[in-house]
Amino acid sequence: MTAASPTSRQDLADLLAFYASAGVDEALEDAPVNRFAEAPPRQAERAPAPPQAARENRPAQAPPAGPRLDTSAVPDAPARQSAATVPDEAQAALARQLARSAATLEELRQHMAAFDGCNLKFTAKNLVFADGNPNASLMLVGEAPGRDEDLEGLPFVGRSGQLLDRMLAAIGLDRGSAYIANVIPWRPPGNRTPTPHETEICRPFIERQIELVNPKVLVNLGGPSAKTLLNTTEGILRLRGNWRIHTTASGIAIPAMPTLHPAYLLRTPAHKKLAWRDFVEVKVKLRELGAG
């Protein structure tokens, strides 16, 4: 950007905010490079070129700051892998260790807040850990926070949250008698679908959260929650309405009801009756288990 550019500071700030919300998390070069316009190098030309800094006769700089895996807090944490190897596996291993080592929900929340191994953290405004009553018999797990949730740091506070509150009220419950969390605790930029890697990195945290809450009944809100926590690849329209089991790391079997996500119901109101049936099943199950 030159001094003669008419772009104001505000324009630049807006542009940066747009990039951040679109998931751009690293600046590599000062100027954009059109890689499509570059011809692939021929074999004979592949001799390593001197680094750009050396060519320009200036000192090499540290790589841009990206997500950092701080293993110092964890005994026996896997050694940091170079970014060129398999960083996601190292981060998932660290997440597993941190999750296992959390003895309480508050410890788990603190470990998650300090965890730098998931790139989503760096574009999100807040960690969205949970809402509701941690002693509740019913726990509901959604996919990932949206914009409103990211701003407030609480799950399901936007339009789908309002619908969820009405669905809970229909079976006589509210946030004082249910506990709500998400598979992914950081908002994916632009509400994009979390990648399989991001889900694998975050999975140990939600699994431990379920284990620590130890609800009598779990409700999976939408396909991603059901697939991640019920170990299935079936679609939500086939899964919903049928009891499954979520097994915790310590072997506790929790009855789980997969149902339709409130955001889907807002787009497809004709299917609300299906979700209603699923919630009635949940109420009956809670009663059977002496928790209704």
- Contact between 88 and ligand URA (CB under 6 A)? no
Strand partners, 255: 245
- Contact between 144 and ligand URA (CB under 6 A)? yes
- Contact between 182 and ligand URA (CB under 6 A)? yes
Span from 58-66, 138-146, 195-203, 271-279 in contact with ligand URA (CB under 6 A):
138-146
CA dist., res. 91 & res. 60, Å (int): 28
CB of 145 to ligand URA, least distance (A): 4
- Contact between 156 and ligand URA (CB under 6 A)? yes
The three-class DSSP label of residue 253 is strand
Span from 25-33, 155-163, 200-208, 228-236 in contact with ligand URA (CB under 6 A):
155-163
- Contact between 143 and ligand URA (CB under 6 A)? yes
Alpha helix positions (H), the chain: 9-21, 52-55, 87-101, 105-114, 147-152, 159-170, 196-213, 223-230, 236-239, 262-267, 272-288
Max Cα-Cα span within the chain: 75
Nearest to 117 by CA among 204, 190, 189, 193: 204
Size of the site for ligand URA (CB under 6 A): 11
Helix H or strand E segment including 220: strand 217-221
- Contact between 189 and ligand URA (CB under 6 A)? no
- Contact between 145 and ligand URA (CB under 6 A)? yes
Which lies closer to ligand URA via its Cβ, residue 94 or residue 136?
136
- Contact between 146 and ligand URA (CB under 6 A)? yes
Select from 149, 198, 207, 211 the one that contacts ligand URA (CB under 6 A): 149
CB of 238 to ligand URA, least distance (A): 20
Which residue number places its CB atom closest to ligand URA?
Answer: 142
State phi, psi for 138 to the nearest 5 degrees.
-115, 130
The three-class DSSP label of residue 181 is strand
Q: CB-based burial of residue 105 (10 Å sphere; 0-12 exposed, 13-18 middle, 19+ buried)?
A: middle
Select from 155, 185, 194, 255 the one that contacts ligand URA (CB under 6 A): 155
**Other CB atoms closer than 10 Å to residue 127's CB: what's the count?**
17
Footprint of ligand URA on residues 256-275 (CB under 6 A)? 263
Return the structure tokens found at 109: 């929340």
Please report, as ranges, the residues that interact with ligand URA according to CB under 6 A: 142-146, 149, 155-156, 160, 182, 263
